[in-house]
Structure 1
Amino acid sequence: MAKKCFLLLLALVLYLIHSQSTNAQSQNKISPIDLDALLQIKNTLVDIAISTSPHFFSSWDFDSSDPCSSFAGVTCSSSEQSRRVYSLVLGTGLSDSPGLTGTLSPSIVNLTELTQLVLFAGIVTGPIPLQLGSLKKLRVISLTNNRLTGAIPESIFTLPDLHTLDLSHNQLSGTIPVTLFALNQLKVLVLASNRISGQLPSGFPQQLLHLDFSQNNISGMLPQWMPSSLRYLSASQNRMWGALNCLELISELVYLDLSMNHFSGGLPASLFQPKLNSMLLQRNNLSGGLPPLPPYLYGPGSIIDLSHNFLTGELTQVLVGVESLFLNNNQLTGTVPKEYFESVSLGRTKTLYLQHNYITGYPTAAVSSSSLPRDTVAVCLSYNCMVVPAVVGLMECPGGVGGQISRPAYQCSAFHNKSTISLKKEDHINI
């Protein structure tokens, strides 16, 4: 009797162990829908150089491996009976990896629990799947440095939880949908280096921190109401125009690049603050003078480039201490304040470009071979309305005019007379 009871107890224990094992296997099994989607994704993408070992898809063995535990770039949930893919990272992103080629399978849209989709650099072609906007849980979409074509699906700009959208360095075309402003979770938007055209939407999400649509074919003006939260804004190398007044209320900017456009008008005084450590506005049509403000405490690595504009007036002290300062190719006049050369002598300023202006003087005592560390700095005053000191000779000055160190006297006289007449007209109007 005791033996029979023992056998029954043993059978019960074995049954419970088997049952627990079966339940565990059931919980660890990936959803058949997700499994099929991964298979379709692999069928449309291949490693550019499969001879390299190991290549990205070497771990994607559908016959013997568990995708959730062994497939590179695949991360699954662990709480459901049927496990679902919630993160898909395609490619390694390593510098020695040539990346993937092929196309993005529309089957990605069957991964309905996906929160993150990343495609590292390669030569993937074709369009972004139109149905991507049906993945309502997506928070991160990063498909950079490939050869994707076509328009950005408008449905992407309706994803309720989208935090980061980076489609930079592709061949995408079309316009930016006006529905963009409704993305109330979006913090990072990067569309740089594409073929996007048209004008910008009338507004951006107000919580946006990082906005980059540089190197496209975008025209028109910046929206009147730019997000006050912006810390990074780049719109360089487009066809944009208009004044920069819309930037006056953006107090958190750290990086600003609007270079190589057609922006005009004056420089908002609010842009001149130490928090804005990089301000690149070169090659526009900006005019007016520098604000008459005291110098700020610009830190190491600071760069301000206002070159190739139409800035006028005397050089104020507002930019003293900037590490790399480019004011060349403008219409600045007067004498360079001694504080700029003192900053060079102290090693705070390492590049000071003032060439191709109408500057008439500099503090002789501050400019000498003993005070300027010529081996570690680049200072240029050539092609102005003065005799250039030998210590800052033509060797440090790019874009020389046939070896001409000083601007011809007739140019200086003509510019001075024109400026005087303009000032008299302005005074007459003010009266």
Structure 2
Amino acid sequence: MKCLLMRISGASVFLILSQFVFAAQAMLDPVDFLALQSIRKRLTDMPGSNYFASWDFTSDPCNFAGVYCDGDRVVALNLGDPRAGSPGLSGRLDPAFGKLSALAELTIVPGRIMGSLPHTFSQLKYLRFLAISRNFISGDIPASFGQLRGLRTLDLSFNQLTGSIPSAVGNLPALSNVILCHNRLSGSVPPFVSQTLTRLDLKHNDLSGWLSPHGLPSSLEYLSLSWNRLTGPVDKPLSHLNRLNYIDLSLNRFTGCIPGIIFTFPITSLQLQRNQFSGPVQPENLVAIPAVDLSYNQLSGEISPMFSTVQKLYLNNNRFTGQVPASFVDRVLSAGIELLYLQHNYLTGIEINPTVEIPLSTSLCLQYNCMVLPVQTPCPLRAGRQKTRPTSQCIQWKG
């Protein structure tokens, strides 16, 4: 009799558990439930992480860490512990992501996720936000991403992506942020058509070719293309971007003049160093830009007095000639300029009293020009030890 009761009790427990599991699955669309199971099987916690501790599929997946539902559908996945510096996830991305047809947001914290981007992402017609950065994602960006017509943010930075940026991605109409920096992408920068695009960050890749004259929308506020192999002039691509507040085109091979109109934009940092820009620089109406770096180019002519309003100004290693404008002296002595690097040019003089004391808060470097230095000031080590340019070079160079 006792054994019979135990058998009945055991059967009852099994029945109750079965009903419980069925009820838990019923809370979420079955397709989404199975997709989450597949995603979970391909990903694991890195040592020190317990992100998946709550992913117990005998309970409601809508209560899992990082899973957000609307009704019986998953609408957002934030995979991994979002705390800064916490261990991330490892493994690979399962194609089952494409089964979460109501998904609008997908983020994955930094970790050691490898492999390629699933082409099934293109099935997520409601996806607005995709951020998988600082992992080891390789392969190309699928051209099928061009089907994500509602995508607003695409952040695949700090991975190992190769291949070109698909033109279909540039044609996405709703983009506001494109962050693909620190990868191994090659080819040209495709034209971007979205009139809501405010941030474009493609630095530290292997991009080449010219910028399309009308390939950057006027809505841009942040533009970083540094550390690539881009060439050609920038006057037409930049001239209409009058909302820019940050420009970094450094360490490329851009040529031609620097358009004077960009100095009228509301820029907080302008970095054009280490290119092949040439000719004079004539700001049309310089606004107060905190930092301007035009160093290591082939710029020539006299230095515009308008630059005296800049707090940190790098004009070194160019071909500037003539006198340093008097307005610079006034700003240096009043500590209005924090940093003024004019070394390695062909400047012929600066009207400053040799006995004057340069404010300690100001860094001024004048060495290796065509002048006897009126004041001795500390210069960066890379400026070298020679104080004055050889006379033979100053005679040959006409500016």
| Identity among equivalent pairs (%) | 40
The aligned amino acid for 1:140 is F
- Please tell me whether the aligned partners of residues 269 and 292 of structure 2 are also in contact (alpha carbons under 8 angstroms): yes
Match of 1:280 in 2: 271
**How far apart are residue 96 of structure 1 and its match?**
2.8
TM-score in terms of structure 2 length: 0.89
Match of 2:220 in 1: 230
**Greater shift after overlay, 285-294 or 95-104?**
285-294
**Greater shift after overlay, 355-364 or 315-324?**
315-324
Distance 2:334 2:292 in 1: 19
- Please tell me whether the aligned partners of residues 162 and 185 of structure 2 are also in contact (alpha carbons under 8 angstroms): yes
Distance 2:355 2:155 in 1: 50
Q: Does 1:30 align with 2:28?
A: yes
Match of 2:55 in 1: 60
Q: Does 1:75 align with 2:68?
A: yes
Match of 2:197 in 1: 208
The aligned amino acid for 2:233 is A
Match of 1:19 in 2: none
Give deviations 1:149-194, integer Å, cap 9, x for gaps: 1111111122111110011111111111222343111111111111
Q: Does 1:406 align with 2:388?
A: yes
The aligned amino acid for 1:163 is R
Instruction: Describe the shift of the 1:154–1:288 C-alpha distance in structure 2 as closer, same or farther (beyond 3 A).
Output: same
Match of 1:4 in 2: none
User: Structure 2 unaligned runs (5+)?
Assistant: 1-19
Q: Does 1:256 align with 2:254?
A: no
Give deviations 1:103-131, integer Å, cap 9, x for gaps: 11111111110000101111110001111
- Please tell me whether the aligned partners of residues 145 and 168 of structure 2 are also in contact (alpha carbons under 8 angstroms): no
Give deviations 1:201-233, integer Å, cap 9, x for gaps: 244423311111111111111111021111111
Distance 2:137 2:25 in 1: 37
**How far apart are residue 274 of structure 1 and its match?**
5.5
**How far apart are residue 27 of structure 1 and its match?**
11
Equivalent residues, number: 376
Match of 1:17 in 2: none
Distance 1:355 1:125 in 2: 46
- Please tell me whether the aligned partners of residues 139 and 163 of structure 1 are also in contact (alpha carbons under 8 angstroms): yes
**How far apart are residue 94 of structure 1 and its match?**
2.1
Distance 1:56 1:347 in 2: 52
- Please tell me whether the aligned partners of residues 296 and 320 of structure 1 are also in contact (alpha carbons under 8 angstroms): no
SS of corresponding position for 1:388? coil
Match of 1:45 in 2: 43
**How far apart are residue 239 of structure 1 and its match?**
1.0
Q: What do you get for the CA RMSD once the two structures are aligned?
A: 2.0
**How do 1:174-323 and structure 2 match up within 5 A?**
174-225=163-214, 226-245=216-235, 246-273=237-264, 275-291=266-282, 293=284, 295-298=286-289, 302-323=290-311
The aligned amino acid for 1:42 is R
User: Structure 1 unaligned runs (5+)?
Assistant: 1-21, 420-431
Instruction: Describe the shift of the 1:127–1:295 C-alpha distance in structure 2 as closer, same or farther (beyond 3 A).
Output: closer
Match of 2:325 in 1: 337
- Please tell me whether the aligned partners of residues 109 and 132 of structure 1 are also in contact (alpha carbons under 8 angstroms): yes
Distance 2:326 2:76 in 1: 57
Give deviations 1:232-251, integer Å, cap 9, x for gaps: 11111111111112211111
